[in-house]
Structure 1
């Protein structure tokens, strides 16, 4: 039988080792930053109940030397899709949607696969990226600069300027109009190859437009705008006060400037198909979000019932849908990546940003990484991100082994 003094020694030893590990993590990440070409980034590591580590590195704005902190706000890219998943499960719990409902039973306009018009596209198809809907080049029309933006060619590389000039030419549309233009026969950008050759349900193909379409359907069945619905059912209950779907809904003073791989500032932009990648948050706020989801997954009813969390985060795809005879390396739930090793989460990448958000269901430890720099072809930046994420994983391993 252990004495009280021996137990106290163990407790003290645990906290000393934990603090030493955090100090080492801090120094490791800082050393990676100092040799990287990343403007700024934030890191968070947590259990369902405790924030183990939160810190910011580098600059939210290079010119003004404004520090990147855990309160810095930026776009999180496709991690936004996890909010569609939560909203979907909430609508199902409220009896306003069923997972196998054909979308044409709800939509005010019909969307059919041109080659298989008799095969209905369902809610489940949209939620698992098996709808047959493709993004194609027309999806790039979703990126729209704020009004009054001027681009100076001398401020960018030739490739950067060409891409940004195309973005500047994009027009503003409502989400409904954008979807109709892409997916209905009379639409401005409609083509038969906006759909896969395979029929709905047969093949996994990641679809931003399909994701935004489901958010639009949620608006219809709830008679509430998607920002209002997520505010009421997710942000307010979790007390996420520094997050939203627009620049106007959050604190403009906390916004990060965003940069190309060459370090050139990208003007602010919005996504017409904003539910698929336009959510704006901070490391601090998104940590609250992930903690709330982890608690739900592990049995604490919150913004959803535990069974809804587990259903949403369980694998749905078959080898046939992936068109592979090999064992699936990663699967997909309802807008959540699910790996055989127990990793659950999502990532997001857009001009000027990268976001990673995952937790391990066995370890019960999660991590988030934000940065305000593009990640496309620059090997140095890619290597820096990999090194940061590896340092996070190493700390998680040490933490799990000490509890």
Structure 2
């Protein structure tokens, strides 16, 4: 397939100039194949190093779909069920209005627990934007942090969508407990490796060894780019670092209904369950927006069903 992306490239460069974005990369898949990939701008302004399609960025909450996929793979293997109460796996007894929270509720952000903002506080501290500090560096810390969350519940499980990063941290903990592997090891072995996502990482050590990482920059009031640290931390809610070429393989698997290059990653039925809207979102831009398992769903976006998710970690953002 040969398409002209010149108008798109012109639009991107104009917006980058207006907003002072130092660098970005994009990839486009058509008919199940990668048809376009390009980097724009710089990954390092001080040395004038360009962004390429191989350049690593934090993908933030796009990671949640990987966590959801891992849960469903364990379900496919008979090791858990999305209708299991989380108390079966986590020493956290929170029952909003007397009802059990189930894995399904964590996947769909409908546990009844409001956002506790651990991630926001952590990232703001790393970026030097706020002196607020929460000493949470592991899923166990999050479980302790959430132990009194019942006093903040606002609805029964399954009644209302309320975005909860902490819920996906709990899912990562469940994945580790059920699989007998760390969350990161399970995702690497059962998702990243089969998809040939060889340059997608969770650890600072791996990213630094790779070397092709986009330096995080903040823009100050004078329009200057200020270097900031990347907020490495708890991973299951938003800790994957990847590039558009690897992510293209991930999306090919969805387009091919759970298969990648002849290898079955997940059953078609379970994959389509991820893309099914399980709870309505509290806002509507196009009508009927809902949330599946790790994905937002717009049933009619210019005549198409749009399965999507954005991500933001520090100053890195992503959209799939």
The offset of 1:173, in angstroms, is 3.0
Cα distance, 1:161–1:88 mapped onto 2, change above 3 Å? closer
Q: Are 1:121 and 2:62 counterparts?
A: no
Contact 2:40 2:52 in 1 (8 A): yes
Partner deviation per Cα, 1:115-162 (whole Å, 9 max, x = no partner): 52x31000110111101122324443544988xxxxxxxxxxxxx754
1:2-401 correspondence runs (5 A):
18-19=2-3, 21-47=4-30, 49-107=32-90, 109-113=91-95, 116=97, 118-143=98-123, 161-163=128-130, 165-166=131-132, 169-171=133-135, 173-181=137-145, 183-185=146-148, 192-193=151-152, 195=153, 197-250=154-207, 251-262=209-220, 263-272=225-234, 274-296=235-257, 302-318=264-280, 322=281, 328-341=287-300, 342-357=305-320
Please report how far the alpha carbon of residue 24 of structure 1 lies from its aligned counterpart in structure 2 after TM superposition. 3.6
Deviations 1:223-265 (A, max 9, x none): 1111110011111101111101112234441111111243221
- Residue 36 of structure 1 deviates from its aligned partner by 3.7
| Gaps in structure 2 of 5+ consecutive residues | none
TM-align CA RMSD = 2.6
Is the CA contact 1:48–1:292 (under 8 Å) kept in the aligned structure 2? no
How far has the Cα of 1:85 moved from its partner?
A: 1.2
CA 1:255–1:312 in structure 2 vs 1: closer, same or farther (change >3 Å)? same
Normalization by structure 2: what TM-score? 0.88
Flag as ranges the 4+ runs of structure 1 deviating above 6 A: 298-301, 323-327
**Using the alignment, how far apart are the partners of 2:82 and 2:163 within structure 1?**
18
**Which has the larger share of helix?**
1
**2:56–2:213 CA contact under 8 A, matched in 1:** yes
Kept in 1, the 8 Å contact 2:82–2:102? The answer is yes
Mark the runs of 5 or more structure 1 residues left unpaired by the alignment: 1-14, 147-159, 358-403
SS in 2 for 1:178: helix
Q: CA deviation at 1:180?
A: 1.9
Deviates more, 1:260-269 or 1:68-77: 260-269
Matched residue count: 310
